[in-house]
Chain A
Amino acid sequence: MSGSVPLLDVRDLVVEFQTPDATLRALDGITFSIAPGEILGVVGESGAGKSLTGLAISRLIQPPGKIVAGEVRLNGQRIDALPDRAMRRIRGKRIAMVFQDPQTSLDPLFPIGDQIVETIRAHLDLSRRAARARAIALLEEVGIPSPAARIDAYPHEFSGGMRQRVVIALALCAEPELIIADEPTTALDVAVQAQILDLLARLCRDRGMAMMLVTHDMGVISEITQRVAVMYAGRIVELGATAEITAQARHPYSEGLMGAIPTLEARTEPLLQIPGTMPRLTAIPQGCAFHPRCTRAFAPCDIIRPALRPLPDGHAVACHLHDPTHKETRP
């Protein structure tokens, strides 16, 4: 993130859902950026809004959900207000997506080769034959054994891990600059998950591709990301270098999250416990959304919503405990 134009720049993104009873704010002022070639992790529990952030960036939010404020820039160009036709040329070409369940990303009625060739030809000006050769090369790159023989196989003829590799090949079709991967390994067995993570990290390294990796698994985050955004109730509460957040989180929520995860080390004391659960969208508390569960909440927490403020070391945290203006009242 040094000086130069970030690849992806998200500013104050707000997404709301209009229901008959109320307007629900699902994303509230999301601000972050991803540098070219960087892997950013987005972590949080169910309902925090991490998947929605990915969908909002790629403009795949379905009504009644709607982006109501904020800006999304790709290489300096605003993409949040582009017409749908122009957005279709960016989605799949410059921004690619990989979802959790490879089964739903592939059409069960067509051989995988047809699907890859179709995607390639939708974005690149290639003949059918050249596109097929490219599809075979992509399948080879993502580690499908004997790709020339497997290209005409149907999705059901692949195992779960192999199917996810096919989906990744599909995402690579048009040399995207950014991949948004939403829980790409959650549906896989642990040994296969390790293989897919290694593959994604290698592809980003070899191709200089950036990735936004959405997951609830801190192990996955610490394995391959450089920076991580921790989300809670539709907001980013902490953003910083992965090594720092895993070793010394500043926000009480991230701290609790790290302490709640069992590790392979021997331990006798119980896991850290955050009382309660994440609030529903219909009942997000005033002030800091985390304050009813926070053991260190003090005077301003239930009134003023803390902004995501950068600390001197480049870390950013949305918590009054780290805000010098509340130094006097801090417990």
Chain B
Amino acid sequence: MTPANEGLHAAAAQGAADRSRPYVRVRGLSHEFDLSDGVMSRLLSGSRPRVLRAVNDVSFDIRQGETFALVGESGSGKSTIARILAGLMAARAGKITIDGHAIAANRARPAALLKATQMVFQDPYASLNPRWRVERLIAEPIRHMPAAARTERVHELLRLVGLDPLDSVKFPHQFSGGQRQRIAIARSLAANVPFLVCDEPTSALDVSVQAQILNLMRALQAQLGLTYLFISHNLAVVRYMATNVGVLYLGRLVEVGPAERILSAPRHPYTRMLLEAVPGTGLPRATVQGEVPSPITPPPGCTFHPRCPLAEDICRRQIPEFRDGVACHLAHRAEGAGKGP
């Protein structure tokens, strides 16, 4: 073990002592975006306020050292949740607890969140300042450390993510996409924060480079006891990375459970549809119609019913409650009757 990583290891050991308590706990997280016209033009044209509910009463837990993946199509709210958890924006409502510290999610840029989480972004071309050298980029979260210790720590981190300490004097444009993502990961580890929010960290990369980054992230997790919130639309990547999976549809969680179960025996028809849509698996496809409806005017009842091949009358009228890991009238009924869906 290197001295520079002792902080992380200490945090991991502390968490390991209390495995039963989730490391990250999210309760009733909601967020909406106001898309209304300005007050004046609303008065003049008589248009109504328009509100987009991007995240709607989302709750989940992540245990220490595990990966929780959020999956869903565009507009499902997965990136909004990532940004809220990373402290980049405030939610409208909800409570977040990280390592036992409760944080009200509705405060603008809660300082506690900024300290308790680090984020890895999708596009390593946009997330690294092109005018900064690698040392300054990686050392940004620890810029108040004494200079000598800081340089030592940067070299440590570069070795940790598979780069050369000599790279610290280079600029981002001297690196390939995969190497840049390694720099971004090194930066997120700099301040010994053991919880990373990763928003599609490999979507912008080629498959051979994606494999390098995914393997690196798994190795770092095992080595340092990191906890990940992993956002992805790629179910195969999620299968490789995640311990537990939450499936989002129009801002609501429709199914949560162990990755193995969700991706082999899904209970919600939407999860099943996502799984069948993965190309090249040879799974038979129930023909799913249409695309995600506008989140500004979501359908009544279960928001998935217009696309669901199994929809019944109740699905059109009543929003299914989230119970036993799934939000679906039919799944609840099948389980109530004592058999699987």
Contacts and interface: CB of A to CB of B under 8 A. Distances in A.
A232 to B, nearest CB: 10
Contact of B235 (A193, A257, A264): A264
Contacts of A273: 208, 211-212, 215
B239 A263 contact: yes
Contact of B280 (A160, A162, A192, A222): A222
Interface in B5-20: none
B236 A190 contact: no
B281 interface: yes
Contacts of B219: 270
A274 B210 CA distance: 10
A256 B208 contact: yes
Contacts of A192: 291
B275 interface: yes
A161 B277 CA distance: 14
Interface in B202-250: 206-212, 214-215, 218-219, 233-237, 239-240
B206 A46 contact: yes
Contacts of B237: 262
A193 B239 contact: no
B274 A191 contact: yes
A265 B264 CA distance: 9
A219 B285 contact: no
B278 interface: yes
A266 interface: yes
Q: How large is the interface on B (under 10, 10 to 19, 20 to 34, 35 or more residues)?
A: 35 or more
A197 B279 contact: yes
A243 to B, nearest CB: 11
B280 A271 contact: no
B292 interface: yes
Among A160, A190, A198, A216, the one with the most B-chain Cβ atoms within 10 Å of its Cβ is A190
A198 B279 CA distance: 10
A260 B274 contact: no
A264 B275 contact: yes
B209 A277 contact: yes
Contact of A189 (B235, B280, B291): B291
A218 interface: yes
B281 A219 contact: yes
Interface of A: 45-46, 159-162, 189-195, 197-198, 216-223, 246, 256-257, 259-267, 270-274, 277-278
Interface of B: 73-74, 176-178, 206-212, 214-215, 218-219, 233-237, 239-240, 260, 263-264, 273-281, 285, 288, 291-292
Given A193-B277, A219-B278, A257-B208, 13 more contacts: A189-B73, A190-B235, A191-B274, A198-B285, A217-B279, A246-B280, A262-B237, A262-B239, A264-B264, A270-B215, A270-B218, A273-B215, A277-B178
19 contacts: A189-B292, A190-B73, A190-B277, A191-B288, A194-B279, A194-B285, A195-B288, A197-B279, A218-B207, A219-B279, A219-B281, A222-B280, A223-B279, A262-B214, A263-B239, A264-B239, A270-B218, A270-B219, A273-B211
